[in-house]
A = this chain, B = another copy of it.
């Protein structure tokens, strides 16, 4: 999955991650989306271009508007890559890590 590079780079930027999270709650046209951020609309467009290239979001035209939404397949691909990374990464430490992982997860 060679998207992993682009996907991680996309999520690494705080603004882009915020855009992603906002689209996650609800699909939005670019203008309405950009209104929620302190940067210009073209800046948001550029972020969206990266997010879409990374297959984290997708868009659909509706009149003059472009409606952006999250891309479940790209997200699933990234999850698979990361799961495999963690399992390879944890090797001998797998037991300890899983324990630490579930400890906080099971007791919120």
Contact = CB atoms under 8 A, between A and B. Distances in A.
A104 interface: yes
Chain A interface SS verdict (over half): helix
A100 B73 contact: yes
Given A72-B96, A85-B21, A104 B91 contact: no
Q: How large is the interface on A (under 10, 10 to 19, 20 to 34, 35 or more residues)?
A: 20 to 34
Given A11-B8, A17-B8, A72 B88 contact: no
Contact of A90 (B9, B72, B93): B72
27 contacts: A5-B14, A8-B11, A8-B12, A12-B12, A20-B89, A21-B88, A21-B89, A24-B85, A24-B88, A24-B91, A25-B88, A25-B91, A70-B89, A70-B90, A72-B93, A72-B97, A72-B100, A73-B97, A73-B100, A75-B90, A76-B101, A76-B104, A79-B82, A79-B86, A79-B101, A80-B105, A82-B82
